Amino acid sequence: MKDQQEQELLKGLAQSDRKAIETVYRDNYNLVQALVVNNGGTADDAKDVFQEAMVVLYEKARSAQFKLESSIRTYLYAVSRRLWLKKLALQNRMQVVADAEAIDLDVAEDVADEAEKARQHIAMEGALGQLGEPCRTLIEAFYFKKKNMGEIAALLGYTNADNAKTQKYKCLMRLKKLFFAQAKTAS
Amino acid sequence: MNEQQLTELIERYIGGEMSPDERLYFEQLRKSNPEVDSAVVEHTLFAQQLDRYAGVKDFKAKMTGVHNTLAQSGAIAPGSQKSGGRVVQLFHRYKRTAAIAASIAGITALSISVLVSSINPGAPTADIANLNRKLNELNRKNQEQDRAINKVAQNVAAPVVSYKRGGTGFLVSTQGYLVTNAHVVQDATNIAVQSNSGKEYATKLVFTDAARDLAILKIVDSAFKAPAQLPYSIKKGTADIAEPIYTLGFPRNDMVYGEGYLAAKTGLNGDTLTCQISIAANPGNSGGPILNRKGEVVGVLSTKQTSAEGVVFATQSKYIYQALATLQEDDTAARRIKIPAVPGLKTTDRTQQVKKIADYVFMVKVS
């Protein structure tokens, strides 16, 4: 019964369903915040750590071959704990984390994957930031909002869809270039 | 097919917008053309990146919204209020570190003070007395050393002075008073005179008169032996034009004899202090005596006109008397200066005169 509920929640997360996000958030945030605040962090640190863990879960839920071996709560706690330990290590403040719950879940791989993905996310953000208008709007409209070329031509004031297509192609090429340049400097 | 069209095809292919026929054709193209295939793979990956970026961005934005809603409704602990202000946050963050640091510091301070007090058991008075005695001993040793150093210092010869300029001077008294040019000894720190035989005597400047370009030196060296009597006198009046004269000087390291005649009774531009003579003179001749046939000093060779050849000026000898008179006013020793009224070599021939007089003419060395 509980399993059923969790599967539904994960599906919701994968679709970025606000209700599912809210449920997971409400059920687990306090636990993670207690962990971080009790181990030398602030509430803001806790928020960052928890949201990062949520993204890890979101990515997992979206991938086709995903199967969660534990409860959502345990998974989020384990990932948050690992993330927070990493942050402490970066600040040279290694500490023994006082655990609120006993865990025996290995999330090292997921967290490492997430770190790589986060780098790419930042690279893409940087590339889009450098792209400039109207390219940015065009790319976002086509790839993020999935609008068709006719709508985009109307939105940006191109005379017809073909013009918008040519423009989109040019913008895409530039974005690729920027993204790979960003990814290179970031790594 | 250009790249734009290819990209468009790829996008439609990935998006599943192709008709079955078109799809079949495109897949065949992929197989036959590796370039198209790699373009498809690359674009697929990039599209995934974009898609993922959009998804995460959207997810994050929703989470922020959820967080704010939940925080407002009180469903999640409002952490920021709980942790208080920045200082309180910092305190919470670092309290453990601070406590450890403080206790380490405390322990270190305590152990050092314990260590110091155990190693250093007070200062007994006996030690102080000892120290005092040692100080006295040190003082005594210092004095001994001072004495030793003084002894050594007395034995050390006076530093060798290298003289850079020079001129000529001649004795005007047997006590060691010499006349030379003021410009020869100008700005001098050390003055020495060297006799024709090569003996050097330390000398001090006792009088200068820049206007007449005269200076009087006194040999202060104990090695100086006073000669018997001056072989020449000094003329009180003015010499006559065409009178043959000669001079002795040190334009180089050996004494040089020069012969000429009195050319004019006045010097450059009618200067009455000097007279013009015609004689071969070089730097170093300055301060040399100008003597006439009778062995009377009639002047002191001083300057040379640079714009004309063989035009030399000499300070007239009567001003030597004036200079001596001024000197005698405040130098009691100088009052004993007696200049012969009659030249002693009046009848001797020139060669014998010069031989005699040479002992009374000195090279003046200045540094």
- Express each pLDDT in B115-136 by its tens digit: 998 887 665 555 556 666 677 8
CA distance B177 to B204: 10
Please tell me whether residues B47 and B108 are part of one structural domain: yes
Cα separation, B274 vs B191, in Å, equals 25
- Joined tokens for residue A63: 């991938």
More reliable by pLDDT, B76 or B101: B101
Contact across the interface for A42 and B55, Cβ inside 8 Å: no
Determine the average pLDDT of the residues in A139-157.
79
On average, the pLDDT of chain B sits at: 83
Same domain, B36 and B169: no
The one-letter code for the residue type at B332 is T
Which of A96-105, A134-143, A160-169 shows the lowest mean pLDDT across its residues? A96-105
Q: Are residues B298 and B346 in the same domain?
A: yes
Output phi, psi for B264, to 5 deg: -150, 155
The whole-angstrom distance between residue A54's C-alpha and the CA centroid of its chain comes to: 8
Q: How far apart are CA B245 and CA B264, in angstroms?
A: 13
Query: Any idea what DSSP says for residue B162?
Result: P
Strands B361-366 and B165-171: antiparallel
Residue with tokens 């960052």: A48
Closest residue in A to B71 (Cα–Cα): A26
Which residue among B108, B126, B155 closes a domain? B155
B99 touches chain A (CB under 8 A): no
| A54 vs B contacts (CB less than 8 Å) | 59, 63
- Average pLDDT on A1-22 reads 79
Q: In this structure, are residues A32 and A48 in contact, taking their beta carbons and an 8 Å threshold? A: no
Q: Answer whether residue B346 is part of any domain.
A: yes
Do B274 and B245 have their domain in common? yes
Beta bridge partners of B208: B215
SS3 B228: coil
Which residue in this structure is represented by tokens 């026929």?
A: B21
B142 and B209 part of one domain? no
For the cut 60, the answer to whether the pLDDT of residue A94 exceeds it is no
When scoring B1, B3, B67 by the number of chain A Cβ atoms within 10 A, the one with the most, hence best to mutate, is B67
Q: Is the peptide bond before A134 cis (omega within 30 degrees of 0)?
A: yes
Q: Are residues B140 and B198 in the same domain?
A: no
pLDDT score for B82: 46
pLDDT at B83: 46
As a whole number, the mean pLDDT across chain A is 79
For the cut 50, the answer to whether the pLDDT of residue B81 exceeds it is no
What's the pLDDT score for residue A39? 80
Confidence of residue A98 (pLDDT cuts 50, 70, 90): low
Contact B47 A143 (CB under 8 A): yes
Contacts of B276 (CB under 8 A, 6+ apart): B262, B263, B264, B266, B267, B268, B311, B312, B313
Q: What percent of chain B has pLDDT over 90?
A: 11
Same domain, B17 and B68: yes
Look at B83 and A43 and tell me if their CB atoms are within 8 Å: yes
Q: State CA A17 to chain mean position distance.
A: 14
Of B56, B57, B79, the CB nearest to A33: B79
Tell me the average pLDDT across A31-46: 83
Q: Is B227 on the interface with A (CB under 8 A)?
A: no
Mean pLDDT value across residues B220-248? 87
Asked whether residue B359 is assigned to any structural domain, the reply reads yes
How many other CB atoms are there within 10 angstroms of residue A116's CB atom?
10
Nearest by CB to A169, from B4, B47, B65: name it: B4
CA pair distance B189, A68, nearest whole angstrom:
104
What is the C-alpha to C-alpha distance for residues A155 and A150, in angstroms, rounded to an integer?
A: 9
Residues B84 and B233 in one domain: no
Domain end position, chosen among B93, B123, B155: B155
pLDDT at residue B111 tops 90: yes
Please report which confidence band the pLDDT of residue A2 belongs to, taking 50, 70 and 90 as the band edges: low
Task: Please name every residue paired with B207 in a beta bridge, in sequence order, or none if there are none.
Answer: B216
Domains held by chain B: number: 2
Query: Which secondary-structure segment (H or E) carries B146?
Result: helix B125-155
Whether B216 is covered by a domain: the verdict is yes
3-state helix, strand, coil in chain A (%, to 5): 75, 0, 25
Please report the pLDDT score of residue A186 as a whole number. Answer: 56
pLDDT at B179 over 80: yes
pLDDT of residue B37: 83
pLDDT of residue B183: 87
Highest averaged pLDDT of the listed ranges A128-132, B37-41, B96-100: B96-100
Domain encompassing residue B198: 165-366
Q: For residue A20, is pLDDT > 90? A: no
pLDDT of residue B110: 94
What is residue B103's predicted lDDT score, i.e. its pLDDT?
94
Q: Inform me whether the pLDDT recorded for B159 exceeds 70.
A: no
Say if residue B191 is in the same domain as residue B142.
no
Among B14, B42, B50, B88, the residue to mutate for chain A (most A Cβ within 10 A): B50
Say yes or no to pLDDT of A33 above 80.
Answer: yes
Contact between B202 and B183 (Cβ < 8 Å): no
Confidence at residue A178, expressed as pLDDT on a 0 to 100 scale? 84
Residue B160 in any domain: the answer is no
Residue B48 within any structural domain of the chain: yes
B227 shares its domain with B101: no
Q: Which of A44-53, B12-21, B171-180, B322-331 has the lowest mean pLDDT?
A: B12-21
Instruction: Supply the pLDDT for residue B158.
Output: 52
- Give yes or no for residue A148 having a pLDDT over 90: no
CA distance B54 to B72: 27
Last residue of a domain, one of B155, B176, B199: B155
Which residue among A33, A62, A95 places its CB closest to the CB of B55? Answer: A62
**Cα of A71 to nearest chain B Cα, Å:** 20
pLDDT mean over A45-57: 87
B182 plus B263 within the same structural domain: yes
Q: Is B111 a member of any domain?
A: yes
Is residue B107 predicted with pLDDT exceeding 90?
A: yes
Question: What number is the average pLDDT over the span B247-266?
Answer: 88
The more confidently predicted of residues B75 and A20 is A20
Closest CA to B267 of B299, B235, B291, B309: B299
Is a pLDDT exceeding 50 seen at residue A133?
yes
Which structural domains are found in chain A, ordered by start? 2-98 (1.10.1740), 122-186 (1.10.10)
Q: What is the CATH number of the domain that holds B281?
A: 2.40.10.120
Distances in whole angstroms, Cα of residue B327 to Cα of each of A69, B225, B337, B360: 123, 22, 11, 21
